[in-house]
Structure 1
Amino acid sequence: MSRTVAFIGLGHMGAPMAANLVKAGHRVRGHDLVPDALDGATRTGVEPASSAVDAVADVEVVVTMLPMGCHVLDLYDTVLSAARPGTLLVDCSTIDVADARTAHERAAAAGMRALDAPVSGGVVGAEAATLTFMVGGGEAEFAEARPLLEAMGKKAVHCGGAGAGQAAKICNNMILGVSMIAVSEAFVLGESLGLSHQALYDVASTASGQCWALSVNCPVPGPVPTSPANSDYRPGFAASLMAKDLGLAANAVKAGGVQAELGLRAAELYAAYAERAGAAEDFSGIVRTIRDQSGEQA
């Protein structure tokens, strides 16, 4: 069933997601503060809106993809009075669990319904409509949003109540960040021992070391031709975004009193990497920092 959707935040992730909604037959009214981003989305069939308030007026669903929780909350403060009662708000940003719960509360107070629905899959997944959505909120709201999520991705998982989608996202990315560091360290260790990248990959990818960071996003050129390592670490999932997500996970770890030494250390390493060499690189490029620092210690 075709829906009328407002899509706010048409950056590297939001633009292809909105385009896939258009391809699925939905009417999409989009807005972005960056004129070039809005122009690009318009070329894919998104109807341009002059403001966020204009975008949400008289639509059934509002989808947002924004950088941080403060942006989501500021936007909700702006548009909740302009949207019609009962509008379903689906936030696909990756933000703090507490901010997500606050967004739910503000939506409910304004007579709206809300879901937090962060994604996994990066820009490639957004373009190919193969994202995984981790969703927090009511079951009825999830059922209503599911056709839209399936137009933008291959899988949508209802994780629980308000904030549960964000909780699942930061837990998943803590696993990913830690595993990418471990895989990178293993390749650098292999290099020091005279082991070829291909030999290590052939063993680990079919043994107990197998993981997504190795088999899909391998941090060294060669073994996985489609990994960013083969395109000078051009981002599929930027190191700055991994640093952000691990920072959110670290905040939750500390707030919950959880013993998570590897997660906290991964957050520190990615924060430092993103501030320096990794500012414009894929998160797998951290292997080069590990290699460089290993040379300094030798």
Structure 2
Amino acid sequence: MEIRHTTNPADVKHYTTERLRQEFLVGGLFEANKINMVYSHYDRLIVGGVLPVGEALKLEDRETLQTEYFLERREIGFLHIGGGIAVIAVDGKAYELSKLDVLYVGKGRQDVTIASKDKNDPAKIYLVSATAHAEYPTRKMTAEEANPTHLGSLETSNERVLNKYIHADGIQSCQLMLGVTTLKPGSVWNTMPAHVHDRRMEAYLYFDLNDDARIFHMMGEPAETRHLVAENEQAVLSPPWSIHSGAGTSNYSFCWAMAGENYTFSDQEFIPMKGLR
């Protein structure tokens, strides 16, 4: 597992493009028969990718976590982003996931494996894990069950559908929140006007882009904005002090996941357009 340490916003404003990418952009998550993960010291969030082509892959990393099993002091959310049916087994009970289905697994589950139902049509699974101090039951949710919310408009280039999966009124968790936003054709902007929530970090995974499409992910303090150019199936780690917004060269989907002190969407601080520089 790769480890990323926290950064100081006073230092980040002096970073080169390459340094910004090294600190905040996460690529190469989906490799055949591997579980690739990045451990962020921002709220100790872990993001990862799984592309199971052969045998089932066991979720584990004792060397990094220094625990007997992965979810000894953690919870996790799995999102199916494409391909065939995924089969995730939790302490012997199997759950099948299709595209945009989410499975939450709570603290204390000891044996978690990830596989594809058909190795000739492998699933592609994105995972996000946060620390947990309480146990919540394992639960699967489809996109339809996530009660899609329609936001924005084509006139402002941000017509989109928001699916909330893991949150206070959906799948219950200790601190992890997770959802997916899909932009309609002709729309490119997400989360505008931009905002920050200093009590929680956030991670974005951009997906469903063509190979020649790109996302310009906006970050940095409101008066010291920077950007990252992201490709399909790359993630961005967003510090609590940073805005997180973006625009694509086409429409796309992204998974947003949060961890931190507050378990709410209402503590956002929206930044007026005149406050961005």
Fold shared, TM-score > 0.5 on shorter chain:
no
Choose between structure 1 and 2: higher strand proportion: 2
TM-score by length of 2: 0.29
Higher relative contact order (CA 8 A, sep 6+): 2
TM-score by length of 1: 0.27
Task: Indicate the structure (1 or 2) with the bigger Cα radius of gyration.
Answer: 1
Choose between structure 1 and 2: higher helix proportion: 1
